[in-house]
Structure 1
Amino acid sequence: MRIIGIDLSGPKNHKDTVLAIFKQEGNHLQLVKWANNLNDQDILNEVFEQSQLDEVVIGIDAPLSYQDGGGDRKSDRELRKFIVGLGMRSGSIMPPTLNRMVYLTLRGIKLSREIENLNASYPISLVEVHPGAIIGSRLSKQNIEYVLAYKQEQSARSFIRNWLTEQGLTQLPVEIEEESHSIDACAAALGAWHWKDSSYNVKWIFPASPPLHPYDYCC
């Protein structure tokens, strides 16, 4: 199985879009490729290539649906409550139609549907994820400060990179500590792995509700 974590940015901001591809090796994920500065076609090419080799599971950090009429989806409200209970800040969960989110939402919806239309040799499954919640829900309470700081502080990213290795993600280069988007892509892969592999459990999940909300949302 191939696990892909994608930290998606808006359609004009390719620089901050990061993709991390892992190959499952028993109870570990081995990093196969890590790349940034990706447009939609770059991502589709990577997913297609992996789908010719094995089953692919993709965790995408971006809204993959929106609430008709605007505002929060029910899943956004529920996840916000969950992370506040962990000691995290509520502001990291934003409505998909908020002005600063709407282009990211558009890209997430478009890209997820394009992935579904790929001529894959093996199955592809997608799940919407929240990397901060994936990290925060698995950290011990005494270490929750690191998830609050990793967007700003390199030392917190260094701690989380080492912690991700302890969670079974191997061969992570030190360079992923340089900015938070790479950490988020790896965390997205961790969440997608735990969502798909029956040996693990997600910490929170809001099931898909087709046709308007066609993907599970988890951390």
Structure 2
Amino acid sequence: MRVIGIDLSGPKNHKDTVLTIFKQEENHLQLVKWENNLSDQDILKEVFEQSQLDEVVIGIDAPLSYEDGGGDRKSDRELRKFIVNLGMRSGSIMPPTLNRMVYLTLRGIKLSREIENLNAVYPISLVEVHPGAIIGSRLSKQNIEYVLAYKQEQSARSYIRNWLSEQGLTQLPIEIEAESHSIDACAAALGAWHWKAPSYSAKWIFPACPPLHPYDYCC
């Protein structure tokens, strides 16, 4: 299995779009590629190449649907409740049609449908993920402050990089700590792996509701 974590940014912000590719080796994921500054075509090329080698599981940190009429999806409301109970801030869950989110939502929807149309040799599975919730739901209560601080503080990102290694993500270079988008891409892979692998399970999941919401949402 190949597991891909994508921290997607808006269509004009290729610089902050980060992709990580891992290969499952028994009970861990081995990093095989880490890239940023990616266009849609760059991402599709990477997914296609991996799909010629093995089954591919992709966790995308971006809305992959929106609520008809605007505002929160039911999944957004439920995940917001879940993370608040963990001690996290509610503001990290934003409606897909919010002004500052709408271009990211557009890119997420477009990219996910294009991935589905790839001429893959092996199956490709897609899940929408929330990296902060993936981290926060697996940290101990006494360490929840690290997920509250990692967007701003390098020391918190250093802790989370080491913690990700303890979760089974191996060969993570220290440079991944430099900014939060790479941490998010690794966490997206962790969430997708736990969602898909039979020996693991998601900490929270909102099942797909086709046709308007065609992908599971999990952490």
Task: Provide the aligned C-alpha RMSD in A.
Answer: 0.2
In structure 1, C-alpha distance between the alignment counterparts of 2:200 and 2:28, rounded to whole Å = 12
Post-superposition offset of 1:83: 0.1
In structure 2, C-alpha distance between the alignment counterparts of 1:78 and 1:136, rounded to whole Å = 15
Post-superposition offset of 1:198: 1.1
Question: Secondary structure of 1:29's partner?
Answer: strand
Match of 2:116 in 1: 116
In structure 1, C-alpha distance between the alignment counterparts of 2:109 and 2:73, rounded to whole Å = 15
* TM-score, with length taken from structure 2: 1.00
In structure 2, C-alpha distance between the alignment counterparts of 1:88 and 1:15, rounded to whole Å = 27
Unpaired stretches in structure 1, ≥5 consecutive residues = none
In structure 2, C-alpha distance between the alignment counterparts of 1:51 and 1:134, rounded to whole Å = 25
Task: Summarize deviations over 1:10-47 as a string: whole Å, max 9, x none.
Answer: 00000000000000000000000000000000000000
Post-superposition offset of 1:120: 0.3
Post-superposition offset of 1:201: 1.1
Task: Summarize deviations over 1:68-119 as a string: whole Å, max 9, x none.
Answer: 0000000000000000000000000000000000000000000000000000
Number of matched pairs: 219
In structure 2, C-alpha distance between the alignment counterparts of 1:124 and 1:32, rounded to whole Å = 18
In structure 2, C-alpha distance between the alignment counterparts of 1:74 and 1:28, rounded to whole Å = 33
In structure 2, C-alpha distance between the alignment counterparts of 1:110 and 1:190, rounded to whole Å = 23
Task: Summarize deviations over 1:156-185 as a string: whole Å, max 9, x none.
Answer: 000000000000000000000000000000
Extract structure 1 runs of 4+ deviating beyond 6 A.
Answer: none
Task: Summarize deviations over 1:107-165 as a string: whole Å, max 9, x none.
Answer: 00000000000000000000000000000000000000000000000000000000000
In structure 2, C-alpha distance between the alignment counterparts of 1:150 and 1:212, rounded to whole Å = 33
Identity %: 92
* TM-score, with length taken from structure 1: 1.00
Question: Secondary structure of 2:144's partner?
Answer: helix
Question: Secondary structure of 1:156's partner?
Answer: helix
Match of 1:83 in 2: 83
Match of 2:148 in 1: 148
